[in-house]
Amino acid sequence: AQKITQTQPGMFVQEKEAVTLDCTYDTSDPSYGLFWYKQPSSGEMIFLIYQGSYDQQNATEGRYSLNFQKARKSANLVISASQLGDSAMYFCAMRESTSGGSYIPTFGRGTSLIVHP
């Protein structure tokens, strides 16, 4: 079973508008973390935002916010005031603690976001 599901292969948004990228996850670990990464066409993976399973408030980092709905196991990324430079692949990831105490992030298949001028 997929641990991270991103159902939107591609999304389009007008510049300056907000966009929500969906992510649902599956885990039985009570302590987990959720991440979003951005991968522009140049290829590097850029960390955007983190949400811990025990965090009471939604994480925010500048124009990025994470809409964390624990009961629904969803961790959607909201980008406000989209910019042309936001065009990229976006990956949702989850880390669980393994029996060895390590943290191995698992990634979704990604959503391609294109921002139109």
Which letter does DSSP use for residue 54 in this model? T
CB of 16 vs another protein, minimal distance in Å:
28
Between 30 and 117, CB nearer to another protein: 30
* C-alpha to C-alpha distance for 55 and 15, rounded to whole angstroms: 31
CB of 12 vs another protein, minimal distance in Å:
21
CA distances from 73 to 28, 38, 46, 81 (A): 11, 21, 23, 26
Q: Which residues are CB-neighbours of 72 under 8 A, at least 6 positions away?
A: 24
Position among 72, 104, 114, 116 found at the interface with another protein (CB under 8 A): 104
Say whether residue 105 binds another protein (CB under 8 A): yes
Say whether residue 54 binds another protein (CB under 8 A): no
Residue 6: Cβ within 10 Å count: 21
CB of 17 vs another protein, minimal distance in Å:
27
* Token duo for residue 78: 């909201």
**Residues binding another protein (CB under 8 A):** 33, 35, 37, 42-47, 50, 52, 91, 95, 98, 100, 102-110
